[in-house]
Each structure stands twice: as structure tokens, then as C-alpha cells.
Amino acid sequence: MNYEETINRIHGFQKFGSRLGLERMAVLMDILGNPQDDMKVIHVAGTNGKGSVCRFLASMLKENGYRAGLYTSPYLERFTERIELDGIEISREDLADCASAVFNAVDIMLAEGCESPTEFELVTAIGFVYFSRKPIDILVLEVGLGGRGDSTNMIKAPLASVITSVSYDHMNVLGSTLEEIAAEKAGIIKEGCPVISNVEDPGAAAVIRRIAKEKGSFLYDAAQIQPQNIKKSLKGYSFEIKTGHNKPAGLFRAELGMIGMHQVSNAICALSVIEVLEDRGIISCKEENLRKGLKKAYNKGRFEILKESPLLIIDGAHNEAGVKALARVVKDHFRGKKLLLVIGMLADKEVGRLVQEFSAIEGDIVTAEPDNPRKLKSEELCRSVKCMGRECVALGDWESACAYIRNEIHKYDAVIVAGSLYLIGKIRGQFSNENEEGIADL
């Protein structure tokens, strides 16, 4: 089976939907020999920030000489983005080969009368098989949805369980309160394994503390670390903190290529994970290499500047906390500027909450449709924006949005495309290669 045939068969499992629970995954991994049990894993959950924390961790580990595997979701442009080793995506050949092993296991499951795995469970199994065949030192593993019933939660004894944030998203599955959502995410906490929490909401943080205590797990509260001497620019942020990496009479200073105060928080969370693992003698890192890793870490689609003069930016703000973080960056860097905001989202999101937050961002607003069957029609989204007292134009599909951006971008200081990753991924594919000069001093 070649790459294209492999991808088509993987996507064929979409018909089984998204269902939490480890029963199917347990059967599948048992047939495959449970390769995940032999891996050293940093397991990362959270409503927002988990992808960036994973990137920071993998980059810092790599710069310190560790072979770091990275499993993330979803992808923006290429399916192979989801599985990386030392910053290199899985090859098409390796993907097809590992998928073949998993397909064979699925055939055995079905022949025995078992329920079929979902697409995400299938992909997670492919990732486990791939990493089991490579000489990795540590796997940085991002949770897909929630934690307790997510397919990545097959890990029995992680090096660390990380919870980056708790906010409102997927309430129909995870719960209607932050405490309920926190409990689902805290399902990745394992007996006696350290927990790093970056959760700010007091009620959600209390839930995580309670569950960590019940599991006999040491809890490190990264949310209590306050950055100092923060410098902000569209080329990146820098800050100082007190950590175990301090020189005797100084602070640890970090520079990030990622933009936004939320990325400062994510970097502090990742540094806290490194500190906990160092204190336990699991890894050994040099300060200068940690700095390099933080600076080099890069997460596509997270306030990513695709073009300069005028600016074209994409941001995967697809829940309430994400849009608030975007609004803060806009306020920090674009006060008094002429902006165009292009938004699109899926119909199963909390549309009212998101539109309210998007409408608080100054500038012109237009709506577009993600490339996904669950898309919210641009006309419907536009009506919601108008209900907030804002002017709006419905563009239609993502291709129409690309054409509109090309025609109108010269009228603005910046165009920001935000919302569903299924929208910004398409926009990125159209525009990311058009600015070869990079980002100048801004």
C-alpha cells in the first residue's frame, strides 16, 4: 500500500466518529505488543497551549542531545506533520509501513468481533509503532481531546504528566464547568508520577491538586512562576524567571521565536517540566542549550506571520481562551492600526462565545468557511457577528477568502486569519511560500 492509499484508508475511519474511551485502544495495542509500554514519555494535556509546550519541550531536549519524538494533532497541511523525530516528519514510506502493521491488527480486531477503532486511535497507534522502531530517548506526547479517555492515555507510567491550561472547549464531551473539564484532563495523572500544572483558574487547579494527591504524585505549580523584564516584538518575546537553572546571582533569561504572553506562559511550563526531570536525575541539560531550544521552537499556525508589508498572520484561535490570547497580542502590537480580521469556525463550537470575543477585536471583519464537513456557513457566522453590532461581509469558502485577501490586503496594515485550523491550514498552504525574505525588524 503506497502513501496515498494509506492516507485514504486512514481517513476511511472517520465514519466511526470521535469517541472517548480506552477499550478499543487497549485491544489494538495489545495485538501490536504494547510498544508504548517501553517508551519514556512526557504526556501533555490542556485546553490551550499543549501543542506549543510540546514544541518547546522537544526543541530543548533536541538541543541537549536527546533524540526526541513528538506526536501532535491536528495537522495544518501535511498528514506527516503529526509524527516527528528530532524535528523531522515521518517519511511517507515509514508512515505506510507502520500503518500496514496497524491495519493488520485492526483486521484481527474486527475478525474477533471487536468494535472498530476511531481514526484518531488508529493514528495514535501508528505513532506508537513508528517510535518503537526508532532509537528515541523521550517521546513528547500531546493529548488529542481531554485526557482520561483519550487514546494517548495508554501510557502507564509517564516521566511527567503536564496540564497546560483548563478553559471552555468541547463541553459536550468534557463537561460544562472548568472543574469537570479539569477532572477529565487530570485523567492522565498516574500513580507516583510527577505532575506539572500551568492551570490558572483556582477551581480547576484545586481539582488537579486533589487528583495528584490521591495518586501520590508530586505536583509542581508552574502557574505560580511570574516572568520579569518582559520584552515584546513581532519577532518574538523575551523574559526572565527564577528557576533551578539559575546562576548563583542571576535570573534565567529566555528568548522566544513565538509571539504572545501566552507563549511566555507556555515556555515557563515547559521549563518547569525540564526542571522536574533534572531534579529527578532523568535528564541533564545545559542552560545555553535550553535557551537555544526555546528560541528555535516553532509552532505553525500560532500567530504565525506568513507575509510582511503588509502583514498576513494566521492564528488557530478556535476556543474562548485562544481568542482572548489573540486579542491580547493584537492589543499589544496593533493599537491604532488598520486591521482586517478573517474568521471561520466549525459549527460544533461555542459560536456565541467565540463571536463575542472576536467582535472585541478592533478592525474590519469578514467570515469564511473551513475546509471541513463540520464547517459553519460563512453567512451564518456573519449574522452572528452583526448581532454583536459589528459590520461584516460573508466571503464563502476558503478559496474565496484567499482571493479576497489578495485583493484587499494592500488596504490594511495587517490581515489576521483566525479560528478553525481547517481554515488557517488552507490559507497557509496558499501564502506561506510567497515571502522568501523572512520577517524584518518590526
Within this chain, do residues 308 and 170 fall inside the same structural domain, yes or no?
no
Say if 32 falls within a structural domain. Answer: yes
Say if 441 falls within a structural domain. Answer: no
Within this chain, do residues 357 and 404 fall inside the same structural domain, yes or no?
yes
Residue 107 contacts by C-beta under 8 Å, 6 or more apart in sequence? Answer: none
For cell 522566544, the residue is 256
Within this chain, do residues 381 and 240 fall inside the same structural domain, yes or no?
no
Within this chain, do residues 362 and 319 fall inside the same structural domain, yes or no?
yes
**pLDDT per position in the chain (442 positions), as tens?**
899 999 999 999 987 777 889 999 999 999 999 999 999 999 999 999 999 999 999 999 999 999 999 999 989 999 999 999 999 999 999 999 999 999 999 999 999 999 999 999 999 999 999 999 999 999 999 999 999 999 999 999 999 999 999 998 877 788 889 999 999 999 999 999 999 999 999 999 999 999 999 999 999 999 999 999 999 999 999 999 987 654 444 689 999 999 999 999 999 999 999 999 999 999 999 999 999 999 999 999 999 999 988 999 999 998 999 999 999 999 999 999 999 999 999 998 889 999 999 999 999 999 999 999 899 999 999 999 999 999 999 999 999 999 999 999 999 999 999 999 999 999 999 997 655 443 333 3
Here the CATH number for the domain that contains residue 394 is 3.90.190.20
User: What domain range is 179 assigned to?
Assistant: 3-296
Query: What are the angstrom distances between the C-alpha of 199 and each of 38, 207, 224, 265, 415?
Result: 29, 10, 9, 10, 31
Q: Report d(CA 438, CA 240) in Å as an integer.
A: 27
Per-residue pLDDT at 218: 97
Within this chain, do residues 17 and 123 fall inside the same structural domain, yes or no?
yes
Within this chain, do residues 77 and 214 fall inside the same structural domain, yes or no?
yes
**Interior angle at CA 267, CA 262 and CA 269, nearest 5:** 95
Say if 402 falls within a structural domain. Answer: yes
CA dihedral sign, ordered 240, 241, 243, 246: positive
Say if 273 falls within a structural domain. Answer: yes
Within this chain, do residues 326 and 409 fall inside the same structural domain, yes or no?
yes
**Interior angle at CA 259, CA 254 and CA 265, nearest 5:** 60
Question: In the listed set 245, 276, 296, which residue is the last one of a domain according to the structure?
Answer: 296
Query: What are the angstrom distances between the C-alpha of 357 and each of 369, 384, 429?
Result: 18, 12, 27
Q: Report d(CA 24, CA 438) in Å as an integer.
A: 46
Question: In the listed set 273, 296, 319, which residue is the last one of a domain according to the structure?
Answer: 296
Say if 440 falls within a structural domain. Answer: no
Within this chain, do residues 343 and 397 fall inside the same structural domain, yes or no?
yes
Within this chain, do residues 164 and 216 fall inside the same structural domain, yes or no?
yes
Say if 439 falls within a structural domain. Answer: no
| Ordered strands of the 219-221 beta sheet | 88-89, 83-85, 68-71, 138-142, 41-45, 160-163, 195-197, 219-221
Within this chain, do residues 29 and 113 fall inside the same structural domain, yes or no?
yes
Question: In the listed set 278, 296, 314, which residue is the last one of a domain according to the structure?
Answer: 296
Say how many domains are in the chain: 2
Contact in structure between 12 and 1 (CB atoms under 8 Å): no
Per-residue pLDDT at 387: 96
Within this chain, do residues 286 and 308 fall inside the same structural domain, yes or no?
no
Nearest to 94 by CA among 55, 69, 127, 116: 127
Q: Helices marked H in 171-249 — which ranges?
A: 171-174, 178-185, 202-214
| Ordered strands of the 228-233 beta sheet | 228-233, 236-241, 252-255
For residue 310, cis peptide bond before it (omega within 30 degrees of 0) = yes
Residue 243 contacts by C-beta under 8 Å, 6 or more apart in sequence? Answer: 225, 252, 271, 272, 275
Say if 140 falls within a structural domain. Answer: yes
- pTM to 2 decimal places: 0.94
Say if 437 falls within a structural domain. Answer: no
Residue 363 contacts by C-beta under 8 Å, 6 or more apart in sequence? Answer: 338, 339, 340, 341, 412, 416
Within this chain, do residues 104 and 169 fall inside the same structural domain, yes or no?
yes
